């Protein structure tokens, strides 16, 4: 029995290590899809069309400008997710008085000690530290992550309090970019199966075909994830919490759609669609990170 437990722990460790190594491959895969799409759209098809003149030139210019703008935002958001720490538990963090009175986190009440004086205080046995509300331990990263949503192998990082906005923007711009590529290459894809003569070498035709199929597949798959995460932002929940709070009748962190959105994207509208926060929003980071319980619903948005 003991040996089987040891073997299971060892296998899980090997699995987590493999996922960390897989993430580096995923980054190369993302860059590979971007490279194939760039070659098919810019180099092969719409770049040369700029010299055609007339309507073809205007159409090519519109596609190329849109393609490059979305590509910049996609890569900016992507590498922001990759290189931004999702949120670590500060060494100086201590529970608030509400927690010490036993105002337990509804998601993890079963983890609390039976002592009524400390039943609202969570403790991670793996990290040997206290766990703030909405904090979870990631077995792949080997640490606790604030307001953890999930570990994403595509970005070789956890998605948590500090990079969740960047992850959502990455999904948004990936959907827009892949949809644009698929639509712009659709006429060439249809021509690929027509009986007429198609300009280009077999290599460029194959690249166009591959880019269309890949971008269409990514657009459809990312759309589902985007819709799911938009619904979770509206309810101020995460992927982990959405699974664990099924038995919770009222979600304590739901402050209304407007304030739920602002807790992820910030108060400054100028920063909503770029992977960055204003200085004012950075000062509200304790609430954003999940280090504090939510304010009462009747408070102004500035106090979240």
Active-site residue, from 135, 144, 152, 158: 152
CA pair distance 223, 205, nearest whole angstrom: 27
Residue 152 among the catalytic residues:
yes
HEC readout, the chain: CHHHHHHHHHHHHHHHHHHHHHHHHHHHHHHHHHHHHHHHHHHHHHHHHCCCCCHHHHHHHHHHHHHHHHHHHHHHHHHHHHHCCCCCCCCCCCCCHHHHCCCCCCCCHHHCCCCCCCCCCEEECCCCEEECCCCEEECCCCEEECCCCEEECCCCEEECCCCHHHHHHHHHHHHHHHHHHHHHHHHHHHHHCCCCCCCCCHHHHHHHHHHHHHHHHHHHHHHHHHHHHHHHHHHCCCHHHHHHHHHCCCCCCCCCHHHHHHHHHCCCHHHCCCCCCCHHHHCCHHHHCCCCCCCCCCCCHHHC
CA pair distance 135, 89, nearest whole angstrom: 8
Q: Active-site positions?
A: 152
């Amino acid at each position: 029995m003991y040996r089987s437990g040891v073997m299971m722990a060892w296998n899980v460790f090997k699995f987590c290590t493999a996922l960390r190594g897989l993430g580096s491959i995923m980054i190369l895969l993302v860059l590979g899809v971007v490279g194939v799409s760039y070659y098919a759209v810019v180099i092969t098809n719409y770049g040369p069309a700029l010299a055609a003149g007339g309507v073809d030139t205007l159409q090519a210019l519109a596609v190329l400008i849109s393609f490059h703008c979305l590509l910049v935002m996609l890569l900016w958001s992507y590498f922001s997710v990759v290189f931004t720490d999702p949120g670590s538990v500060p060494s100086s963090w201590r529970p608030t008085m509400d927690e010490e009175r036993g105002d337990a986190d509804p998601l993890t009440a079963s983890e609390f000690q039976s002592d009524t004086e400390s039943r609202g205080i969570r403790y991670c046995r793996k990290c040997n530290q206290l766990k703030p509300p909405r904090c979870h331990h990631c077995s792949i990263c080997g640490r606790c992550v604030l307001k953890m949503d999930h570990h994403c192998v595509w970005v070789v990082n956890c998605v948590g309090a500090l990079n969740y906005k960047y992850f959502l923007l990455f999904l948004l711009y990936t959907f827009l970019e892949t949809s644009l590529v698929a639509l712009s290459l659709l006429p060439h894809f249809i021509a690929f199966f027509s009986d007429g003569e198609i300009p280009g070498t077999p290599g460029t035709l194959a690249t166009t075909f591959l880019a269309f199929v890949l971008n269409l597949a990514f657009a459809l798959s990312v759309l589902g994830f985007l819709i799911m995460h938009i619904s979770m932002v509206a309810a101020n929940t995460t992927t982990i919490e959405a699974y664990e709070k099924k038995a919770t009748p009222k979600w304590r962190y739901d402050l209304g759609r407007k304030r739920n959105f602002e807790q992820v994207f910030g108060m400054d509208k100028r920063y909503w669609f770029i992977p960055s926060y204003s200085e004012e929003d950075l000062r509200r980071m304790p609430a954003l990170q999940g280090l504090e319980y939510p304010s009462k619903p009747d408070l102004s948005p500035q106090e979240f």
